[in-house]
Structure 1
Amino acid sequence: MWRRLVEPMGLLFGQMAQAAIQQGVALPLQNSTAAFTTVLLIDGDKVSGPMPVGAVPNTWLPVVQRLVSPVSDAGLPSGPLVMGILNTTPDSFSCAGQHLQAENAVHAGRQMVHDGAGMLDIGGESTRPGAQVISPQQEWERVAPVLEGLRHTLPDVPLSVDTRNSLVMERALAAGVRVINDVSALEHDPDALPLLADKDCGVVLMHMRGTPQTMQEHTHYTDVACDVVRELGQRVDAAVAAGIARGRLMVDPGFGFAKTNEQNTALLRRILLLANLGCRVVCALSRKRMIGALTGVTDPAQRDSGTVAASLAALPFGNPLLRVHNVAAMAQGVRVWQGVYGA
């Protein structure tokens, strides 16, 4: 199914986009204010175009329609959503140990919501390259008091838990979490798919090859952008086949996971290919090594300006989730982008 992909190009925004759609020279990109006028048709390793949307052969129209169809929001607020990162780990690549104490994490979460976060993502296991493996029980012991504190102080804010273990998923959902964010796209734990099929939460499927310990051994791609979309598409199909409604699914291309800096840059440049999957997109670039490679900034905590600049590439989707450490900076960037392109 995923051999054929369409890459949208020639973007227009706002009133200009609407006028072009009415004139029949552009198509809407999902449910955003953006429209695309030109496409590349990708069939395996064969690429045709660029060509105007009006010149697309009839046999390709069902594939083009995947880029146009509305995206379900999995019960989350519509529009761009800033997702604040709360890592309750001692060994994350950025902010290691800052939120290890539940009281500190809850305080930080409240500040993130004040700064513009539409949801919070809590993680108890570091998945940086070479990270130490911990048990699901240890992971839950880190996450549980933070969830309890956040549910008490921020009852209306959607919470996500970043986990690949079904034990943590089940307990987190019982505690009121609305989204499960799995870096393994539900491949790590065989109990995860059947568990989530019986729930109604949102589910983030992230692209990664191997494990956090081995992923940098799996960086060979024919075309990194197309390969990532196709491999994510297979995980979407597996989730749907297991009983998870497609409208509950979100996709994350996995910047920094089984990808070199050059591949991350190429993937970001062509991020709109993810529209082929028909799912809400999660863009998680915050403070990552690729930002350091592009800017020369070695301290992850000093990469927030680069994070904002890179994350704006996902705004044409209309409903992206932007997963960041510095919520205030990202929220400001989103407001500026919307002021220029969103109306």
Structure 2
Amino acid sequence: MAIVNITEDSFSDGGIYIDLPSAINHSSLCIKHGAHILDIGAQSTRPGASEVGTEIEINRLVPLIRELKLLHPEIPISVDTFHHSVAEKVLNVGADWINDISGGRHDPEILSVIADKGCPYILTHSRGNSMTMDSLAKYTNVVKDVKNELSNQIDLALSKGVKNEQIIIDPGIGFAKNVDQNLILLKNIEQFVSMNYPVLIGASRKRFIGSVINEPDPSKRIFGTSAVVSRCVIAGVDILRVHDVKQISQVIIMTKSII
């Protein structure tokens, strides 16, 4: 899954693909380099990010989705949003998946939209919001607590009419977790694979990788990201959400060839 950030303040590539031609070119290049899915976000979800509002999200997303559906009709488009109104609009104009980093907490009405549309839904574990998540990284046992909280959100989604087969789970690396907690989750990733839902991991270039390898520049964290990706492939993770599609595709192919 290729990350396409059409935002001004994403932690790694904010503002680079904010205009439509740049976003189209980047998306097309990601597909050429091996992306199977595009994940488009018009709202940064990094710690400390401000919300831009649903109208700006929709105005950024709709033209890009329409263009990409004409250029690459075979490639599923996932939209990274936690607003039900945005989800409904983008699904109506051709988006295929919704990637909700709040797992339905931010706007529970999104679950009814997902149920109505019958689309794949990435349900992510997180706590709080961009402004508060770092203060909420307190767990008794991070693996058990994250699994339990994911299960609660899955139950809520099912109660709103979402089907089991629509759900993809994401333990939310970097969302209300500190460095050690992220590492513990990755060491125990099989525990999430065993929950019998497809698993997505989005660790690409994240802050905890920078802390471990002492690299403050997110764009230079590709080797740290590659190690995480290889670990995830070995564990049986289904979807890897990444910035550096060409290089990470090679890591995935090589890892698969030796396990």
TM > 0.5: yes
1:313 aligns with one of 231, 254, 257: 231
Please state how far the C-alpha of 1:327 moved relative to its aligned partner.
Answer: 0.3
2:20 aligns with one of 89, 93, 102: 102
Aligned partner of 2:45 in structure 1 is 127
Q: Tell whether 2:112 aligns with 1:194.
A: yes
Aligned partner of 1:330 in structure 2 is 248
Check 1:304–1:96 CA distance in 2 against 1; reply closer, same or farther (3 A cut).
Answer: same
TM-score, L = length of structure 1: 0.74
The CA distance in 2 between the partners of 1:155 and 1:251, in whole Å, is: 25
Identity value in percent? 37
The CA distance in 2 between the partners of 1:118 and 1:308, in whole Å, is: 18
Q: Tell whether 2:207 aligns with 1:280.
A: no
The CA distance in 1 between the partners of 2:217 and 2:13, in whole Å, is: 11
Aligned partner of 1:176 in structure 2 is 94
The CA distance in 1 between the partners of 2:156 and 2:232, in whole Å, is: 25
| SS of equivalent to 2:199 | strand
The CA distance in 2 between the partners of 1:161 and 1:87, in whole Å, is: 10
Q: CA RMSD in A?
A: 1.1
> Comparing both structures, which one devotes a greater share of its residues to strand?
1
Please state how far the C-alpha of 1:277 moved relative to its aligned partner.
Answer: 2.2
Please state how far the C-alpha of 1:316 moved relative to its aligned partner.
Answer: 3.6
Code of the residue aligned with 1:170 in structure 2: it is: E
Larger radius of gyration: 1
| SS of equivalent to 1:315 | helix
| SS of equivalent to 2:117 | coil
Does the CA contact (< 8 Å) of 1:85 and 1:121 recur in 2? yes
The CA distance in 2 between the partners of 1:166 and 1:215, in whole Å, is: 21
Q: Tell whether 2:63 aligns with 1:145.
A: yes
Please state how far the C-alpha of 1:311 moved relative to its aligned partner.
Answer: 1.7
| SS of equivalent to 1:96 | coil
Aligned partner of 1:112 in structure 2 is 30
Q: Tell whether 2:171 aligns with 1:253.
A: yes
The CA distance in 2 between the partners of 1:170 and 1:197, in whole Å, is: 11
Q: Tell whether 2:13 aligns with 1:88.
A: no
| SS of equivalent to 2:55 | helix
Q: Tell whether 2:122 aligns with 1:204.
A: yes
Does the CA contact (< 8 Å) of 1:102 and 1:149 recur in 2? no
Code of the residue aligned with 2:239 in structure 1: it is: L
Please state how far the C-alpha of 1:317 moved relative to its aligned partner.
Answer: 4.9
CA deviation vs aligned residue, 1:58-106 (integer Å, no higher than 9, x gap) = xxxxxxxxxxxxxxxxxxxxxxxxx000000000001110110011011
The CA distance in 2 between the partners of 1:194 and 1:205, in whole Å, is: 14
| SS of equivalent to 1:86 | strand
Code of the residue aligned with 1:210 in structure 2: it is: G
The CA distance in 2 between the partners of 1:276 and 1:235, in whole Å, is: 17
Code of the residue aligned with 1:259 in structure 2: it is: K
Does the CA contact (< 8 Å) of 2:190 and 2:236 recur in 1? no
Code of the residue aligned with 2:14 in structure 1: it is: A
Code of the residue aligned with 2:205 in structure 1: it is: R
Please state how far the C-alpha of 1:273 moved relative to its aligned partner.
Answer: 0.7
| SS of equivalent to 2:147 | helix
Code of the residue aligned with 1:129 in structure 2: it is: P
Figure out how many residues of one structure are paired with residues of the other and give that number: 259
The CA distance in 2 between the partners of 1:287 and 1:277, in whole Å, is: 26
CA deviation vs aligned residue, 1:225-280 (integer Å, no higher than 9, x gap) = 11111110111111112111101100111111101111111111111110242110
Q: Tell whether 2:218 aligns with 1:300.
A: yes
Aligned partner of 2:80 in structure 1 is 162
Q: Tell whether 2:139 aligns with 1:217.
A: no
Does the CA contact (< 8 Å) of 1:251 and 1:282 recur in 2? yes
The CA distance in 2 between the partners of 1:311 and 1:225, in whole Å, is: 19
Q: RCO higher in 1 or 2 (8 Å CA, sep ≥ 6)? A: 1
Could you tell me which runs of 5 or more consecutive residues in structure 1 were left unpaired when the two chains were aligned: 1-82
The CA distance in 1 between the partners of 2:226 and 2:76, in whole Å, is: 22
Could you tell me which runs of 5 or more consecutive residues in structure 2 were left unpaired when the two chains were aligned: none
Code of the residue aligned with 2:147 in structure 1: it is: V
Does the CA contact (< 8 Å) of 1:197 and 1:243 recur in 2? yes
Please state how far the C-alpha of 1:319 moved relative to its aligned partner.
Answer: 5.5
Does the CA contact (< 8 Å) of 1:305 and 1:329 recur in 2? no
Code of the residue aligned with 1:256 in structure 2: it is: G
The CA distance in 2 between the partners of 1:223 and 1:242, in whole Å, is: 29
TM-score, L = length of structure 2: 0.97
Moved over 4 A (4+): none
